[in-house]
Amino acid sequence: MIALGLADMDLPGPPAVAGALAARAAHRAYGYTLCDPRGRDLVARWYRARHSVDVDPDWVMLLPFSPRTALRLLLAALDPAGPVLFPSPEWGGFAAICRAAGVAWQEVPLVLGRGGEAGGYRLPTEEFGRRRPGVIMLSNPHNPSGRVWTRAEIRALAEAVADGPPGAVLVSDEVHGDLLHPGRGLRQPVAVDAAGDLARYTVTLNSVGKTFNSSGLPSCFAVVPDPGLRERLTGVMAGFGLWEGGLFEQVVQQAALRSGGPWLDALLAHLVTARDRLTGLLGDAVPSPPEASYLLWLEAAALGLPVTGARTALLERCGLEVTDGADFGAAGKGFLRLNFALPGPLLDTVLGRLSLL
Ligand SMILES: Cc1ncc(COP(=O)(O)O)c(C=O)c1O
């Protein structure tokens, strides 16, 4: 059985991160630590260098816990005055977080265009606005499909929350956003930038976890332009004994952002080759070809798999373990998600097995 489900990579991360961790681990004092404010400048420099986006270092919060925890704490700080909206299909974490928080949410079905230029998922931005959201949550790029939402779509969602109830915010979860595939002239629509004058209605969440294969050492960073929201989030964190910084978390984050760029470029070239081989083989079974990250969204029926029980059928027929599309909301039924961040020889085996379908 080859595991292609969970969203992390079967590829080693950058040597610079391992080296920095080893050096810090060799220093045997691991006492309480203060937040190193230079980490904020590093985040701002990363956005300038990789995305041509200006981020005020004062907006950056350096969080020593996973993106999922950050979203849960953020929801507590926001205390939304309207429904939480997110697309369907969408990363199942948003629903789980709302459920845990006892907050009502609504799924807004994405529009799926078929074939050619109009192919792939689109955000029904007017529908989001019509429902007067208290919070919009969005994976940007999209998990599960790897779609990169357009700047116009992100701007329209920022307008929807700006017109919504007081305190409404667009939360753009961009943990896959540094894995933008080169070669298509796309730019990651970093929400804080795409929203323009509405930036204060946005929270942009990012992490080195997916990009540098370090999710087991949980850390993330949030760009929060609204000082009131930064203060409220700091207060919620303090209630759980959490403060900005984090000893090993900041070592990983700073090493990755300071020197991980060339390693990331090589990784992206590898991922694009894998993507092209898979989409070449699977054709119409990939309704929204990925433009970022390492996830492939597959239509079970187009693969000749039963719509109900597709995951089990693929496991039994090919020994390939993928994620059930139903984990991504109502619109995910009948789909599967496959992780292709694999070493070359393992990818060869996966392609060989899929070609037998
Ligand atoms: C869009 C998105 N956000 C957040 C996460 C959660 O990351 P973690 O479980 O490390 O908090 C994931 C993980 O797959 C994800 O895809």
Closest CA to 16 of 259, 214, 209: 259
CATH 3.90.1150.10-classified regions of the chain: 2-12+261-354
Indicate the CATH number for domain 2-12+261-354. Answer: 3.90.1150.10
By most ligand atoms within 8 Å of CB, the mutation choice from 68, 75, 145 for ligand 1 is 68
Give the model's pLDDT for residue 60: 98
Residue type, 72: R
Does residue 119 surpass a pLDDT of 90?
no
> Is pLDDT larger for residue 117 or for residue 276?
276
Note the pLDDT tens digit of each residue in 56-98: 999 999 999 999 999 999 999 999 999 999 999 999 999 999 9
- Cβ-based neighbours of 115, under 8 Å, separated by 6 or more: none
Q: What is the DSSP string of 154-175?
A: HHHHHHHHHTSSTT-EEEEE-T
Note the pLDDT tens digit of each residue in 86-97: 999 999 999 999
Instruction: Over range 305-325, report the average pLDDT.
Output: 97
Does residue 226 surpass a pLDDT of 80?
yes
Report how far residue 152's alpha carbon sits from residue 175's, in angstroms, rounded to the nearest whole number.
20
Give the model's pLDDT for residue 83: 95
Does residue 231 surpass a pLDDT of 90?
yes
Does residue 53 surpass a pLDDT of 80?
yes
Query: Given the CA of residue 7, which atom of ligand 1 is nearest to it?
Result: 14
Task: Give me ligand 1 centre to Cα 175, in Å.
Answer: 7
Does residue 118 surpass a pLDDT of 80?
no
Task: Give me ligand 1 centre to Cα 15, in Å.
Answer: 23
Query: Given the CA of residue 68, which atom of ligand 1 is nearest to it?
Result: 11
Report how far residue 15's alpha carbon sits from residue 18's, in angstroms, rounded to the nearest whole number.
5
As a whole-number percent, the residues of the chain with pLDDT over 90 amount to: 98
Are the beta carbons of 191 and 174 closer than 8 angstroms?
A: yes
Confidence at 189, pLDDT banded by 50, 70, 90: very high
| Mean residue pLDDT across the chain | 97
Give the model's pLDDT for residue 277: 98
For the whole model, what pTM was predicted?
Answer: 0.98
Note the pLDDT tens digit of each residue in 120-134: 999 999 999 999 999
Does residue 117 surpass a pLDDT of 80?
no
Nearest CA to ligand 1 atom 14: 7
Report how far residue 23's alpha carbon sits from residue 294's, in angstroms, rounded to the nearest whole number.
31
Does residue 116 surpass a pLDDT of 80?
no
CA angle, corner 237, sides to 190 and 78, nearest 5?
Answer: 55
By most ligand atoms within 8 Å of CB, the mutation choice from 74, 210, 253, 294 for ligand 1 is 210
Dmax over CA atoms of the chain, in Å, equals: 58
Task: Please tell me the chain's helix, strand, coil percentages from 3-state DSSP, rounded to the nearest 5.
Answer: 45, 15, 40
CATH 3.40.640.10-classified regions of the chain: 26-259
Give the model's pLDDT for residue 114: 84
Give the model's pLDDT for residue 205: 98
Take residue 336 and report the two structure tokens written for it.
């599967």
Instruction: Over range 172-182, report the average pLDDT.
Output: 98
Give the model's pLDDT for residue 335: 98
Indicate the CATH number for domain 26-259. Answer: 3.40.640.10
Q: Ligand 1 pocket by C-beta < 6 Å: which residues?
A: 7, 66-68, 91, 93, 139, 143, 173, 175, 209, 215, 218
